[in-house]
Amino acid sequence: MSDITSLHSSLVTRVLEGEGRASPEIRRAAFDNEGLTEPIGAFVDKVAHRARMVTDADIDTLRKAGLSEDQVYEIVVCAAIGQATRQYENALAVLSATTGRD
């Protein structure tokens, strides 16, 4: 079996706690898709749930709000990993509950 457990854990730690231009608080909130002020909150929710609908105008809105490209980059990466992690952990928990094994 392939095993991404430790690779997943280190990826999450790196994007949330590693060196970055966006604050760790904003990165964590983007990962959780929770507790962000606008316009970042609506943008992060779009990354999590309707990424294909993101437009140039969405990015321009963040630039006008004072975010640098590197901050936008980090927020997007955290939002994408956060949503995929929620899917992944939900499915693993359901599998474990279904089979009765960890």
Residues forming contacts to other proteins in the complex (CB under 8 A) are 1-4, 7-8, 11, 14-15, 18-20, 47-49, 51-52, 54, 56, 59, 69-70, 72-74, 76-77, 79-81, 83-88, 90-92, 94-95, 97-99, 101
Q: Is 71 within 8 Å of 21 (Cβ atoms)?
A: yes
Q: How far is the CB of 35 from other proteins (least distance, A)?
A: 19
CB nearer other proteins, residue 26 or residue 76: 76
Choice between 8 and 28, CB closer to other proteins:
8
The answer to whether the CB of 43 falls within 8 A of the CB of 58 is: yes
In a 3-state reduction of DSSP, which class is residue 58? helix
The two three-digit tokens of residue 26, written as one number: 């904003």
- Closest distance of CB 46 from other proteins, Å: 8
In the bound complex, what is the minimum distance in angstroms from residue 75's beta carbon to other proteins?
Answer: 10
CA distances from 76 to 16, 20, 21, 52, 53 (A): 12, 13, 13, 13, 14
Q: How far is the CB of 95 from other proteins (least distance, A)?
A: 5
